[in-house]
Structures are given as C-alpha cells and as structure tokens.
Amino acid sequence: MTTESRTIALTGATRGLGRALTDELIARGHTVLGCGRDLEQIAALSAEHGALHRFHPVDVADPAAVTAWATDILASHGAPDLVINNAGLMNEPAPLWEISAEDFGRLMDVNVDGTVNVIRAFAPAMIAAGSGVIANLSSGWGRSTAAEVAPYCASKWAIEGLTKALAQDLPPGLAAVAVNPGIIDTDMLRRCWGGGAGGSPTPEEWAPRAADLFLGLGPQDNGESVSV
C-alpha cells in the first residue's frame, strides 16, 4: 500500500461512512474533494479542514450538478487518483409491492444513476491521465438478498454488474472495483435493524480499516468485488 498523498473524490461525504472516511483520509495526509446534500455539513467540513480540501453541495442524481462539481475539481486539482462512489439511499423496509414508484425511482436515481453520473464526469480525465481507481460502494445485499429491502438489493446488485462491465471498458492502468463496506452501525443500518445495529462497529471504528483497503486498490484489482 503506497503512502503517497492521493487526490480523492468522494460522494456522500457529509454523514455516516462518508464523513468518517473523509476525516480518516485527511488525517493521513490525502486531499479529499467531497460532495453531499447537507448544506450545513458541507459548511462544517469546509471550515474544519481548510482550503486544501474542497466540499460542494451536490445531489449525485442530478447529472448537471455532478458535471459542474467535476469540472471544478478537474480545473483545480486535475484527474483524481481515486473516486469513491459512496452516496446512497436505503428504502424503508417493506415488501416490494408496498414501495411506491416514486420511492423506488429516487433510490435507483441516487444509488445507480448517481454512480454512473460520477463515473461519466471523471473517467475521461482519469483515462487521459493513464491511472486511477473508481471504487463503487456495493453491499452484502449486492451479493445476497433479504426480505423488505428489494429496492436496495436491486441497486447494489446493479452496482456489482456495472462495475465488472466498466472494468472491461477501462484501459490498462485503471481499475473499477466494487467494495462491500461491511456491517456498520449507521443510520441506514438502524433503519433496517433498529437497536440490533448497535453491536456493529461505528463509522469511526470502521474508517481506518476502510482507508487501508481503498488506498491499497490498484490496477491489479480491476473488476474485483472486495469487502472491508
């Protein structure tokens, strides 16, 4: 695993795993260029971490907003060494037929379309640079299933297939990797498991191991499905 400073674009940086990973990566000396939808947390991240790191309010489901964010990053920092597609939604647990078309569509817009929007915005510059890793957050439910989370499972199974196909499109020197973060005590997990999530690591406990994994990814991992 290299210790060289990396430039890292990270979605969903304002809460949960994204926030903990942002703090961990910055503490290790890497430059984080993050986005999220929470304006207060974007301001807090900017105030806490200073001008070297950039944080923008972006809804990844909005392709124009993603393009504007990426254009700003590419102009100021060049192609990122690592893109982490972390932003995601979980459905309210319910049988599939009880989940509205609107709720299903919004989840897919963020979890799948949002990931594609970010890839579309950054991949050409990374290809031109001849290097870089695109890490797409999957889930245990992208490799297995459970009752009452069919929309989330569908989105994460899509991420697994999308990532493996993307890996075949990328030229040598780059990598696309699907990353299952594991089971962590987040608001998302508590929505499904309630208090039962309390036995899992917190995002802050998870972040050092996750950072080791993300920073260790390289061309040799292209097309792989890995887990923290």
Give how far the C-alpha of residue 151 lies from the chain's centroid of Cα atoms, to the nearest Å: 18
Residues with a catalytic annotation lie at: 152
**Could you tell me which residues come within 8 angstroms of residue 92 by beta carbon, excluding any fewer than 6 positions away?**
99, 103, 191
pLDDT tens for residues 68-80?
Answer: 999 999 999 999 9
Residue 183 neighbours by CB distance under 10 Å: 16
**pTM, entire model:** 0.94
What's the rounded mean pLDDT across residues 145-166? 98
What is the rounded average pLDDT for all residues in the chain?
A: 95
Selection from 165, 172, 85 nearest residue 132 by Cα: 172
pLDDT score of 1 more than 50: no
- C-beta separation of 34 from 11 below 8 A: yes
Would you kindly state where each structural domain of the chain is located, as residue ranges? 7-227
Domain 7-227, CATH? 3.40.50.720
Residue 91 neighbours by CB distance under 10 Å: 23
**Helices (DSSP H) in the chain: which residue ranges?**
16-27, 39-49, 63-77, 101-108, 114-129, 150-169, 187-193, 203-216
What's the rounded mean pLDDT across residues 115-142? 98
